[in-house]
Structure 1
Amino acid sequence: MTSHTHQTASTQYVEAKGIRFAYRRFGKTGGVPLVFNIHFTGTTDHWDPAVTDGFARDREVILFNNAGISSSSGEVPESIEEMAANAAGFIKALGLAQVDVLGFSMGGLIAQELALAEPQLVRRLILVGTGPRSGEAMVSLTPEAQDIFGASYAEPDHLWLRVHFSPSEASQAAGRKFLQRFRLRSENRDPEANEKVAPAQLAALAKWGTPRENPYDYLKALTQPTLVVNGDNDVIIYSINSWILQQNIPNAQLILYPDANHGSLYQYPERFVKHVTQFLSESGQDA
Structure 2
Amino acid sequence: MIERRPIATLMAHLVLILGVLIVAFPIYLTFVASTQTAEVIAQSRPLSLIPGGHGLETYQRALFGGKNDFGSELPAAAPMMLTSLISALVIAVGKIIISLLSAFAIVYFRFPLRGLVFWMIFVTLMLPVEVRIGPTYEVVSQLGMLNSYAGLTVPLIASATATFLFRQFFLTVPDELVEAARIDGAGPPRFFKDVLLPLSTTSIAALFVIQFIYGWNQYLWPLLVTTNEGMYPVVMGIKRLIAGESYTEWNVVMATAMLAMLPPAAVVILMQKWFVKGLVDTEK
Please identify which structure carries the higher helix content.
Answer: 2
* TM-score normalised over the length of structure 1: 0.20
* TM-score normalised over the length of structure 2: 0.20
Greater C-alpha Rg: 2
Please identify which structure carries the higher strand content.
Answer: 1
Higher relative CO (Cα under 8 Å, sequence separation at least 6) belongs to 2
